[in-house]
Amino acid sequence: MREVMLIMHFTGLALTLGMSFSLLFLKSTRMLSSDHESRAFAMRLFALHKMSHIGLTLLVLSGGYLMTPYWARLSTMPLMMTKLALVVLLIIWLTMLSISARKARKTPSVGNLSRVNLSGWLMLLTTLAIVVLAVLSWK
């Protein structure tokens, strides 16, 4: 069962981190187009947000199972505690991103779209930090 959960965990990581990277690169290409085309393209990118929701759900469910033997020792694992805190922060930022994306879909203004861009950057940096802390906590 542990191997299945590890596969789920890495799949969730690939989906979550992959969505952040893909949004980063797709948004940089969006800057090359006109303002009207750029907004229309940004609206189509919101479909990628579902991928991050699925990935984060897989990460949290499988991570909870994989942490089962370590919950009692968690207070002696500062890097793991930091990683878990960043996961909570990532969930908050994903929620903020979803709210901003919903507002931008209703009224596609520059302010709404820029909040989505900022949330995407924060998610990318947080996800990378989680990966680094995960590797360092198990060495």
What is the structure's pLDDT at 109?
Answer: 65
pLDDT score of 116: 63
Predicted structure pTM score = 0.80
Q: Any idea which of 5-14, 38-47, 120-129 has the lowest mean pLDDT?
A: 38-47
User: Residue 23: what pLDDT?
Assistant: 76
pLDDT at 129 over 80: yes
Res 80 pLDDT > 90: yes
User: What is the average pLDDT across 52-63?
Assistant: 92
| Mean pLDDT, range 37-64, rounded to an integer | 81
What does the DSSP assignment read for the chain? -HHHHHHHHHHHHHHHHHHHHHHHHHHHHHTTS-HHHHHHHHHHHGGGHHHHHHHHHHHHHHHHHHTGGGGGGGGG-HHHHHHHHHHHHHHHHHHHHHHHHHHHHHS--HHHHHHHHHHHHHHHHHHHHHHHHHHHHT-
Mean pLDDT across 98-108: 75
Q: Is the pLDDT of residue 119 over 70?
A: no
> pLDDT over 90 for what percent of the chain?
34
